[in-house]
Structure 1
Amino acid sequence: MRWDVVTWAAVALLLMAAETVVPGAFLLWMGFAAAAVFLLVLVAPGIPLLAQVAAFVVLSFVSVQVYRKWFRRAERPSDRPLLNRRAEQNIGMVLTLDQAIVGGRGRVRIGDSSWIAEGPDLPAGTRVRVVAVEGVVLKVQAE
């Protein structure tokens, strides 16, 4: 068996296998491009190495664009869009100030964690509603 045929087959298999480790469906499509070059080299021997690499680069770009245009758009929206955005899950919650807001900053307790709260100066014990989030700072207003 020729070295270029074996090499492109191995590259295709490695890229497709790597997709199981790296999320995002990016390497899978590059694996398809390598498989196409494998088939091209298998059917038409004698293609120079530079042409093989150029074909791989072009086919990789095209295949990733095909994925982005036709397949990625078809992903269904999440039923829990705020799952990994913990601070944003608190918007709308009504909480009690743990520490008074003085100079625009205070603290609220949510479960077993303490969060920085920003808003108008208010005494401790006041009920506040979270209206926005900026990083890990909760923007609050009096309830």
Structure 2
Amino acid sequence: MDLIALIAENAPWAWIILGLALLALELLVPGVFMVWLGGAAILTGLTVLQVGIGWPLQWGLFGVLSLALVAGWLAYSRYRDANAPQGTEPQLNARTTRLLGRESVLIEPISDGVGRIRVDDTVWRVSGPELPEGTTVRITGARGAVLEVEPVR
């Protein structure tokens, strides 16, 4: 028996199996995109199971459902992101920006533009003008994990 004829005879189940295969593919390919195509295929299969329609209309229905589900998800995710509550700690994962303005004492002199300070329980590399050990400095910026400092007058 010809494979295409077999699929044509069992069109609803072919769509449902295709949808399940796309959902399974989503487990391997991240991005939450195949979910919507798989859902559209399953909905197409269920529709064809209830209402016998020809192949051209089935493909059209699948296309429309795919676009509708993807567009609906994008609209929902944009709405969700725009209305997400702001955290109580906006700089939670930005340690260096939380340190701006703080003062500390050099535990290693700044020579050739690089030295070290201790802030709380962490030793940080700093860059700034040549300064001796024991000088009190203020953190003015950061480049990656290197803090920029200036002497406190």
TM-score normalised to the size of structure 1? 0.70
Instruction: Identify the match of residue 2 of structure 1 among 4, 10, 13.
Output: 13
Structure 2 gaps of 5+ residues are: 1-11
Map 1:1-143 → 2, pairs under 5 A: 2-9=13-20, 11-12=22-23, 15=26, 27=32, 31-32=35-36, 34-44=38-48, 46-47=54-55, 54=63, 58-59=67-68, 61-143=70-152
Worse overlay, 70-79 or 30-39: 30-39
Q: CA deviation at 1:112?
A: 3.9
2:5 alignment counterpart: none
Question: Could you list the per-position Cα deviations for residues 75-121 of structure 1 after superposition, in whole angstroms to 9, with x for gaps in the alignment?
Answer: 11121122222222222221100111123221112244321111122
Distance 1:139 1:72, change over 3 A: same
- Structure number with greater Rg is 2
Q: C-alpha distance in 1, partners of 2:37/2:106? A: 57
RMSD: 3.2
Report the identity percentage: 25
Partners of 1:107 and 1:117 within 8 A in 2: yes
Aligned length in residues: 134
TM-score normalised to the size of structure 2? 0.67
Partners of 1:102 and 1:122 within 8 A in 2: yes
Q: CA deviation at 1:2?
A: 1.1
Q: CA deviation at 1:11?
A: 4.0
Q: C-alpha distance in 1, partners of 2:93/2:110? A: 28
Structure 1 gaps of 5+ residues are: none
